[in-house]
């Protein structure tokens, strides 16, 4: 069902800015988020967290807490199952520590009590004896042979011996001979960069309600990006069979990748199992910062050679990432993405991951790519400056295109990078004059995108409306987009379709809402489910008309006779067929289950103007334009929202957001006051320019759009600030003290 | 934890004096509630002073204004005559928190919280404001400048409450201004700040000046050398350079998550320079 095998169609519903189905619920407060669920007899849970960044747990004495009036259960890591795969065991040990605490805020024990106040009071009664160990939070220090070892024996086989035991992962990608490429260059620049760990910053803290009966059957309501992933992790950690646990996803207040794993859900289930009562846990904002996943922190070296005409002759990068206290493979994605925008004869990237005493990394939009591309695009920009070349022309000259062997191996199919660059070049923003003290920055961005496992059900209701049951929590407008694609395929109005998100007992497995996969993969599945339902409706009509099913076609929401021997019958609409369904064979529904390929990679280009206050180091973002290939924009408002949202998160990451630790590894800024996401008044209007280069892998040409927009902002802003300041900034965030120091050093 | 809502200042002082445990005085609550939520304090008694007669009033007095301790930032910002007389004081108070916080936050509370970074305090000190403090032996008057004694510490005793702040009358050709540096544009706490209060002579030179810095020392700093640099001059480049250097020299900041000592020292001087130009223009001066 590739795009080029589809009949050309004029879209009637897809591409329209339809009303969002969750809008009224969200503005009136009717929408039920994670913390809104409650149950009769419910207890409140609270979690005791480590005050140390690294310590051995010598003993935990819960006697006094258990004895407190109103306390119904206390659990520790010993209440979880022992046998499971290593990755799930890491998730388990992150939910409640075993043996050692690995970062400031690591959960140690939990209490369920008649009220939140009693539960919190009980936490103070739990006596934990720690033997404090030396800690390390900096990735470069953690890789040194003399660094404190966070966890021993965790390195994968390809990691060379003789390094610190903190080094867990190593990878290498590329082709060609970089040394020969550098020798052919007119200018080679070699620079080192650092990026701070940042948090996804979703507004809704993690929250869940768990209820387990004495027979071991359990229900879990939680805010998540994937209820099946929650079920898989929790059933393993609790030692349950999957069928015994039903997980229902609430409305979700932002995730950005951070809600693709579990933190409190297994704890609430363990407490409920022990107490015999429903248990609710709601994280505070402080807990969200201390104990849920930030992105990796990184240290990156990039070397690029360029001819004086602007052709890149070779590029290499060494990326050192830390995903916190547990092994983390994110660096492999950074190492693959680093040079993806370029058509290179010689390219090589090396990735390393090291353990540090930081919270366990969780995915954050295009994990690993923003850091790598920030470093590469900074060096490309500096080469353009030193060779007096136009940065957009240089990118066009070197751009990856259809047929390019990518820096990470595969050969690209139809991609939109060149068209996106041309759109940026033609846009008035690129030619607008700049005043003194202002700078313009540019960066390309790339993300792989993903398809994955999907199961959907589409029912034809007897009143002619359509219900869709799908399994991916809606974090970016997917319910609207899915309804639009179903309406398009069925030939009925959008308003006739309602999409709901099912629990884990109502559908087959669905992968988490990640990899920008939902509009692509669930959309594809819904189109196929609609075609399944259409085939069934045509068969019903064929029976009514007494002709072959092949002699019935579906046009504009109705069955019509087709072919020389079909005879003449007036079209039967979906509503008419639905109304007769009980008499023609029973209810009508369409289904589709698949593991989708063909997601189609995605490119974007960001253009930004900034002004730097030379006396304070403060950066003001003046103008921002995002160009991105959406394949086909199903609901353009949501596509623009993704593009603007990525830019905004990137602005925060570039300018102010960072995890700040003291020398002992304590997190100093676990709150929105000192972890500075941008506020509305920090931001200019962000113009979003959507390009539509159809994805060959989707019947409507749809490409995922959710992750690529966070990739270019770091470099685009760094390039703009560096040009405005007249000095190259190589560390993120470019906070005012850091920029002022660079300006002062420059004199 | 008990909550009391007295109707007179005497009653409030009596409640505080008779409480052996931890007490907190609640005006807007924008600091007290944050402390409660963070678990940094668990008071035995909270005394809400908003119901005390006169504490929600802005009253003209001797050419200036007496501002009740429970008057919110939003109410200050809507008082045209007060804004006309002391624009720098009001703009400082109006920078605290968000629009929602402005509906609650008070100048007196900002003062009594004892933060070196308090946005309302530099402007009050530059204005030579005084606070009226009710205690067991009756009311006393105290210069606002003498109230902060260190981070989280003030000269207001545990059995005393500030009932009002008095902003005096001022001569013609006067103006004041407040600027702070934050990494964002709002919803933040000052990394460094400066308030400047000027009165001009008829020839446009500066006749009187007070320059006060915030967030660069354990308490706000009155920089007399900076005022000396201004008096007798116009704020030309040379004068401002002297002022800027004097301000930076007066800083004694710390390194913390909000900014380095070096950064605060540098930026405090820049803010003082920029605030001087605003205050000068407000006083009717032109360069």
Residues B272, B189, single domain; the answer is yes
Q: Is the pLDDT of residue A450 over 70?
A: yes
Q: What's the residue count for chain A?
A: 747
Above pLDDT 90, what percent of chain B? 98
Q: Two tokens at A21?
A: 């189905």
Residues B155, B201, single domain; the answer is no
Q: Model confidence over A485-521: pLDDT tens digits?
A: 999 999 999 999 999 999 999 999 999 999 999 999 9
Cβ neighbours for A628, distance < 8 A, ≥ 6 positions apart: A420, A602, A603, A604, A605, A639, A643, A688, A689, A690, A691, A705, A708, A709
Q: Model confidence over A591-601: pLDDT tens digits?
A: 999 999 999 99
Q: Two tokens at A285?
A: 């904002």
Average pLDDT over residues A197-219: 98
3 state DSSP class of B190: coil
- Residue ending a domain, choose from B167, B202, B224: B167
Residues B143, B97, single domain; the answer is yes
Q: Is the pLDDT of residue A178 over 60?
A: yes
Considering only CB atoms, A681 lies closest to which of B181, B186, B189, namely B186
Q: Model confidence over A308-347: pLDDT tens digits?
A: 999 999 999 999 999 999 999 999 999 999 999 999 999 9
Considering only CB atoms, A737 lies closest to which of B184, B186, B259, namely B259
Q: How many CB pairs under 8 A join A and B?
A: 51
Cβ neighbours for A592, distance < 8 A, ≥ 6 positions apart: A454, A455, A456, A525, A526, A528, A529, A532
Rounded to the nearest angstrom, the minimum Cα separation between A465 and chain B is 44
**B269 part of a folded domain:** yes
Residues B91, B151, single domain; the answer is yes
Measured CA to CA, the distance from residue A192 to residue A360 in angstroms comes to 25
Under an 8 A CB cutoff, do B181 and A618 touch?
A: yes
**B21 part of a folded domain:** no
Q: Two tokens at A279?
A: 């248990």
Q: How confident is the model at residue A162 (pLDDT cuts 50, 70, 90)?
A: confident
Q: Is the pLDDT of residue A1 over 60?
A: no
Domain that holds residue B179: 174-282
Residues B184, B266, single domain; the answer is yes
Residues B187, B142, single domain; the answer is no
Q: How confident is the model at residue A662 (pLDDT cuts 50, 70, 90)?
A: very high
Chain B residues in contact with chain A using a Cβ-Cβ cutoff of 8 Å: 181, 183-189, 191, 257-260, 262-263, 266-267, 270
Residues B252, B209, single domain; the answer is yes
Measured CA to CA, the distance from residue B166 to residue B183 in angstroms comes to 32
**B46 part of a folded domain:** no
Measured CA to CA, the distance from residue A707 to residue A647 in angstroms comes to 11
Average pLDDT over residues A525-533: 98
Q: Model confidence over A392-438: pLDDT tens digits?
A: 999 999 999 999 999 999 999 889 999 999 999 999 999 999 999 99
Task: Decide: B23 and B68 in contact? Cβ < 8 Å.
Answer: no
Q: Taking phi first (over 0 means left), then psi (-120 to 50 degrees means alpha), and beta for anything else, what does residue A153 get?
A: left
- pLDDT at residue number A213: 97
**B8 part of a folded domain:** no
Under an 8 A CB cutoff, do B257 and A681 touch?
A: no
Q: Is the pLDDT of residue A365 over 90?
A: yes
* CA-based end-to-end distance of chain B: 58
Under an 8 A CB cutoff, do B185 and A616 touch?
A: no
Q: How confident is the model at residue A160 (pLDDT cuts 50, 70, 90)?
A: confident
**B7 part of a folded domain:** no
Q: Model confidence over A533-570: pLDDT tens digits?
A: 999 999 999 999 999 999 999 999 999 999 888 889 99
Q: CATH number for the domain including B189?
A: 3.30.390.50
- Residue ending a domain, choose from B167, B186, B211: B167
- Residue ending a domain, choose from B133, B167, B201: B167
Q: Is the pLDDT of residue A3 over 80?
A: no
* Percent helix / strand / coil, chain B, rounded to 5: 35, 25, 40
Q: In terms of Cα–Cα distance, which of B139, B135, B195 is closest to B166?
A: B139
Measured CA to CA, the distance from residue A342 to residue A174 in angstroms comes to 12
Under an 8 A CB cutoff, do B263 and A736 touch?
A: yes
Residues B124, B189, single domain; the answer is no
Cis check for the bond before A733: say yes or no (omega within 30 of 0).
yes
Domains for chain A: give ranges and CATH numbers: 3-31+451-596 (3.30.365.10)
How buried is A278 (Cβ within 10 angstroms: 0-12 exposed, 13-18 middle, 19+ buried)? buried
**B29 part of a folded domain:** no
A733 at B interface, C-beta within 8 A:
no
Backbone angles phi, psi at A236, to 5 degrees: -65, -45
Q: Model confidence over B63-118: pLDDT tens digits?
A: 999 999 999 999 999 999 999 999 999 999 999 999 999 999 999 999 999 999 99
Q: In terms of Cα–Cα distance, which of A189, A437, A226 is closest to A314?
A: A189
Q: Two tokens at B124?
A: 């009050």
Rounded to the nearest angstrom, the minimum Cα separation between A105 and chain B is 15
Q: CATH number for the domain including B163?
A: 3.30.465.10
Considering only CB atoms, B257 lies closest to which of A615, A616, A669, namely A669
**B242 part of a folded domain:** yes
Rounded to the nearest angstrom, the minimum Cα separation between A616 and chain B is 6
Residues B195, B163, single domain; the answer is no
- pLDDT at residue number A7: 77
Rounded to the nearest angstrom, the minimum Cα separation between A635 and chain B is 32
Tell me which residues of chain A, numbers 603 to 642, contact chain B at a CB-CB cutoff of 8 Å.
615-618
Residues B146, B182, single domain; the answer is no
Residues B134, B182, single domain; the answer is no
3 state DSSP class of A571: coil
- Name the domain count of chain B: 2
Cβ neighbours for B239, distance < 8 A, ≥ 6 positions apart: B229, B230, B233
- The CA dihedral of A483, A484, A486, A492, to the nearest 10 degrees, is 110
Residue A695, CA distances (Å) to A177, A700, A704 in order: 32, 8, 9
Residue B56, CA distances (Å) to B27, B60, B79 in order: 10, 14, 13
Residue A78 CB: number of other CB atoms within 10 A? 11
**B34 part of a folded domain:** no
Q: Model confidence over A600-657: pLDDT tens digits?
A: 999 999 999 999 999 999 999 999 999 999 999 999 999 999 999 999 999 999 999 9
What residue of A is the nearest CA neighbor of B260? A737
Residues B181, B163, single domain; the answer is no
């Amino acid at each position: 069902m590739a795009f080029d095998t589809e009949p050309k169609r004029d879209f009637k519903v897809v591409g329209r800015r339809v009303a969002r189905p969750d809008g009224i619920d969200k503005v009136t407060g009717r929408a039920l988020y994670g913390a809104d669920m409650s149950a009769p007899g419910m207890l409140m849970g609270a979690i005791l967290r480590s005050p140390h960044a690294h310590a051995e747990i010598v003993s935990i004495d819960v006697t006094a807490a258990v004895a407190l009036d109103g306390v119904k259960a206390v659990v520790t890591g010993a209440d979880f199952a022992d046998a499971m795969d290593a990755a799930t065991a890491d998730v388990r040990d992150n939910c409640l520590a075993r043996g050692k605490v690995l970062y400031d805020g690591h959960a140690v024990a939990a209490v369920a009590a008649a009220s939140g106040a009693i539960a919190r009071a009980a936490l103070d009664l739990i006596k934990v004896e720690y033997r404090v160990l030396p800690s390390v939070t900096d990735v470069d220090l953690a890789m040194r042979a003399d660094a404190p070892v966070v966890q021993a024996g965790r390195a994968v086989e390809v990691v060379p011996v003789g390094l610190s035991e903190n080094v867990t992962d190593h990878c290498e990608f590329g082709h060609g001979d970089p040394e020969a490429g550098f020798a052919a260059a007119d200018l080679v620049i070699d620079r080192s960069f650092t990026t701070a760990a940042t948090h996804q910053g979703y507004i809704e803290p993690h929250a869940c309600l768990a209820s387990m009966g004495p027979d071991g059957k359990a229900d879990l309501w939680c805010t998540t990006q994937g209820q099946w992933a929650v079920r898989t992790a929790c059933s393993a950690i609790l030692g349950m069979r999957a069928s015994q646990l039903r997980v229902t996803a609430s409305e979700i207040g932002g995730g950005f990748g951070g809600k693709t794993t579990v933190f409190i859900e297994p704890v609430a289930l363990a407490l409920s199992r022990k107490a015999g009562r429903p248990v609710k846990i709601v994280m505070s904002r402080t807990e969200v910062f201390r104990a849920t996943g930030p992105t990796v922190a990184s240290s990156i070296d990039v070397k690029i050679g360029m001819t004086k005409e602007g052709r890149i002759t070779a590029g290499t990068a060494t990326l050192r990432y830390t995903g916190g206290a547990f092994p983390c493979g994110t660096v492999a994605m950074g190492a693959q993405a680093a040079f993806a925008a370029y058509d290179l004869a010689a390219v090589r990237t090396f990735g390393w991951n090291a353990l540090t005493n930081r919270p366990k990394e969780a995915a954050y939009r295009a994990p690993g790519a923003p850091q790598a591309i920030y470093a590469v695009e900074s060096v490309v920009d500096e080469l353009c400056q030193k060779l007096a070349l136009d940065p957009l022309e240089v990118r066009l000259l070197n751009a990856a295109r259809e047929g390019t062997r990518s820096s990470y191996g595969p050969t690209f199919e139809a991609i939109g990078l060149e068209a996106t660059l041309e759109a940026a070049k033609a846009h008035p923003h690129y030619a607008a004059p700049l005043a003194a003290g202002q700078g313009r920055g540019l960066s390309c961005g790339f993300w792989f995108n993903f398809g994955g496992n999907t199961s959907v059900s589409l029912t034809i209701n007897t009143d002619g409306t359509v219900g869709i049951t799908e399994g991916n929590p809606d974090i970016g407008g997917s319910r609207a987009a899915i309804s639009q694609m179903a309406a398009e395929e069925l030939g009925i109005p959008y308003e006739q379709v309602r999409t709901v998100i099912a629990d884990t007992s109502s559908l087959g497995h669905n992968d988490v809402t990640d990899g920008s996969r939902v509009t692509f993969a669930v959309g594809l599945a819904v189109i196929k489910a609609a075609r399944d339902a259409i085939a069934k409706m045509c068969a019903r009509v064929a029976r009514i008309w007494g002709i072959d099913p092949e002699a019935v076609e579906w046009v504009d929401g109705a069955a019509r006779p087709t072919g020389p021997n079909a005879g003449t019958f007036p079209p039967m609409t979906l509503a008419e067929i639905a109304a007769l369904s009980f008499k023609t064979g029973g209810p009508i529904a369409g289904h589709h289950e698949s593991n989708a390929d063909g997601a189609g990679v995605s490119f974007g280009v960001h253009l930004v103007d900034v002004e730097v206050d030379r006396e304070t180091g403060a950066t003001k973002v003046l103008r921002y334009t995002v160009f991105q290939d959406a394949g086909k924009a199903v609901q353009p408002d949501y596509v623009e929202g993704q593009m603007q949202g990525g830019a905004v998160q990137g602005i925060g990451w570039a300018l102010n957001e960072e995890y700040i630790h003291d020398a002992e590894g304590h997190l100093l800024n676990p709150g929105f006051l000192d972890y500075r996401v941008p506020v509305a008044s920090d931001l200019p209007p962000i113009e979003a320019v959507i390009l539509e280069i159809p994805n060959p892998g989707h019947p409507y040409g749809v490409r995922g759009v959710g992750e690529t927009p966070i990739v270019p902002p770091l470099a685009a802003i760094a390039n703009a600030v560096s040009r405005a300041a007249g000095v190259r900034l190589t560390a993120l965030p470019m906070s005012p003290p850091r920029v002022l120091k660079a300006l002062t050093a420059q004199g | 934890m008990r909550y009391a809502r007295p109707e007179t200042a005497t009653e409030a002082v009596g409640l505080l004096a008779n409480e052996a445990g931890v007490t907190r005085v609640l005006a807007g609550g924008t600091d007290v509630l944050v402390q409660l939520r963070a678990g940094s304090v668990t008071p035995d008694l909270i005394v809400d002073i908003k119901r005390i007669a006169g504490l929600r009033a802005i009253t003209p007095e001797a050419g200036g204004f007496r501002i009740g301790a429970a008057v919110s930032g939003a109410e200050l910002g809507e008082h045209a005559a007060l804004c006309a007389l002391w624009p720098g004081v009001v703009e400082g108070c109006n920078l605290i928190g968000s629009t929602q916080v402005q509906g609650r936050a008070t100048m007196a509370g900002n003062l009594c919280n004892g933060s070196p970074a308090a946005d309302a305090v530099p402007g009050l000190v530059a204005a030579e404001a005084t606070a009226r403090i009710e205690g067991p032996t009756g009311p006393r008057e105290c210069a606002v400048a003498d109230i902060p004694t260190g981070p989280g510490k003030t000269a207001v005793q545990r059995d005393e409450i500030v009932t009002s702040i008095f902003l005096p009358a001022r001569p013609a050709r006067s103006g004041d201004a407040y600027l702070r540096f934050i990494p964002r544009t709002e919803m933040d706490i000052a990394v460094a700040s400066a308030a400047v209060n000027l009165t001009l002579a008829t020839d446009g030179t500066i006749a009187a000046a007070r320059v006060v810095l915030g967030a660069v020392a354990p308490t706000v700093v009155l920089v007399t050398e900076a005022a000396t640099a201004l008096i007798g001059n116009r704020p030309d480049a040379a004068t401002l350079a002297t002022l800027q250097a004097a301000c930076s020299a007066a800083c004694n900041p710390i390194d913390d998550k909000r900014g380095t000592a070096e950064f605060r020292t540098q930026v405090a001087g820049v803010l003082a320079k920029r605030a001087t130009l605003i205050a000068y223009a407000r006083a009717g001066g032109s360069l």
